[in-house]
Amino acid sequence: MTPLSTWWLWRRLKSRSWALKRIARALKLFFPMTRDVVRGDFRPVPWKAFGYMAAGLAYLAMPFDLIPDFLVLIGLVDDVFIVGWLLNQVDKHLEEYRVWKTASETLDSTES
């Protein structure tokens, strides 16, 4: 089996589905969390989450990479892995916000 076959890639992604779910969850929560922090509704501010998100955006915007993008497949894959890892770290630091958000939504639904 060649390492770049579609079947191999599909199996690899499927075995890493937990990471993809955490990345999606981080992106889904980060922007509402930012809004709540700016409004002053949520404290303490999760500075590490903001730092990891800024690092991910900076890495994507920088003109240099660990592996240059002109090496088409390999150059893009390193970007995906590094930014994915950073988003996974963001998700870890959003746990306190996740608990707060769930509690506030529960409180709002009981008051209605």
Q: Is residue 77 part of a domain?
A: yes
Is residue 2's pLDDT more than 60?
Answer: no
In-domain check, residue 41 = yes
Considering the domain boundaries, does residue 8 fall inside one?
Answer: no
Kindly state whether residue 1 falls inside one of the protein's structural domains: no
pTM higher than the cut 0.75: no
Q: Which domain holds residue 72?
A: 18-106
C-alpha–C-alpha distance, residues 38 and 95, integer Å: 18
- At 27 the pLDDT is 86
Residue 60 lies in a domain: yes
Would 13 be classed as within a structural domain? no
Distance (Å) of CA 37 to CA 23, 32, 42, 50: 21, 9, 5, 11
For the stretch 83-100, pLDDT in tens is 888 988 998 999 999 999
User: What pLDDT was estimated at residue 78?
Assistant: 79
Query: Count of domains in the chain?
Result: 1
Question: What DSSP assignment string belongs to 72-92?
Answer: HHHHHHHHHHHHHHHHHHHHH
C-alpha 57: how far from chain center: 11
| Inside any domain, residue 46 | yes
**3 in any annotated domain:** no
